[in-house]
Structure 1
Amino acid sequence: MSLRGFSTINYWADDVAAASAWYTEVLGVEPYFQRSGPDGTPAYAEFRIGDNEAELGLVSRAYAPPGLPDQPGGALMYWHVDDLQGTVARLLDLGATEYQPVTERGHDFVTAAVVDPFGNVLGVMYNPHYVEQFGAAAGAE
């Protein structure tokens, strides 16, 4: 067995339509795939983002596994960003709350995390190894 790379991360939401609208604003793209539940309400929305077109899925909390905590926590997955301070400021302006402050980790690695308006932890990171692999985004400082 070998872990070959990040494939999909799912965030839970009581209101998938509202979560989809919020992430559309954050990401600057609309979901490429959406599905409704049996009652016709939005149940899933999926975005492909980043250099590897990683999948970010928004799933109705109605489909969450039994015992899913109702508080943010657990594993923390970080998305690389070229402008960490600017990204964190924008997420907070859009209604996220601080979960982990901007933290220098050494050797130019810097992390932060917020809780989105739907209760999910969204980690962001400046990762020099990522920049070595993919370069900085066009227009990044």
Structure 2
Amino acid sequence: MSLRGFATINYWADDVVAAAAWYAEALGVEPYFQRPGPDGKLAYAEFRIGDNEAELGLVSRAFAPPGLPDQPGGALMYWHVDDLEGTVARLLDLGATEFEPVTVRGHDFVTASVVDPFGNLLGVMYNPHYVEKFGAAAGTS
């Protein structure tokens, strides 16, 4: 067995339309794929983001696995960002709430996390290994 890389992360939302609009504003891109549920309402919206075009899927909570907690918790996946403090400030301005403040982990690794307006944990980090592998984004120092 070999885990070859992050493929898709799903965030749950009672209102996928509102979640898709919030993430489109936060990410600066529209979802590339959307699918309605049996009731005709939007049940899934997917974004491709970052250097590897990782998939962020927004799924109607109606399709969540049984027993999934309705409070933030569990695994916390971090997205690399070149400007951690600016990203956190923007997410908070858009209505997210702080879960974990900006925290220096050592060796230039810095993390933070927020709870999006739909109850999902969204982790962001500055990861020097990521920059070594993919470089910094254009316009960053």
Say whether the fold is shared (TM-score over 0.5).
yes
Match of 1:133 in 2: 133
Match of 1:57 in 2: 57
Give the SS at the match of 2:138.
coil
CA distance in 1, matches of 2:121, 2:27: 16
Match of 2:98 in 1: 98
CA shift, 1:21, in A, is 0.1
Match of 1:122 in 2: 122
CA shift, 1:79, in A, is 0.1
CA shift, 1:38, in A, is 0.9
CA shift, 1:140, in A, is 1.2
CA distance in 2, matches of 1:74, 1:125: 18
| Structure 2 alignment gaps of length 5 or more | none
CA distance in 1, matches of 2:70, 2:53: 29
CA distance in 2, matches of 1:108, 1:120: 26
Match of 1:89 in 2: 89
CA shift, 1:40, in A, is 0.7
Give the SS at the match of 1:44.
strand
CA distance in 2, matches of 1:109, 1:75: 18
Match of 1:18 in 2: 18
Cα deviations by residue, 1:25-59 (Å, 9 ceiling, x for unpaired) = 01100000000011110000000000000000000
| Structure 1 alignment gaps of length 5 or more | none
- TM-score, normalising length: structure 1: 0.99
CA distance in 2, matches of 1:92, 1:108: 23
Match of 2:40 in 1: 40
**How high is the sequence identity, in percent, across the aligned residues?**
87
- TM-score, normalising length: structure 2: 0.99
CA distance in 2, matches of 1:80, 1:139: 16
Could you list the structure 1 runs, at least 4 aligned residues long, displaced by more than 3 angstroms after superposition. none
Cα deviations by residue, 1:59-115 (Å, 9 ceiling, x for unpaired) = 000000000101000000000000000000000000000000000000000000000
CA distance in 2, matches of 1:89, 1:120: 17
Instruction: Tell me which amino acid in the other structure corresponds to 1:130.
Output: Y
CA distance in 2, matches of 1:138, 1:47: 21
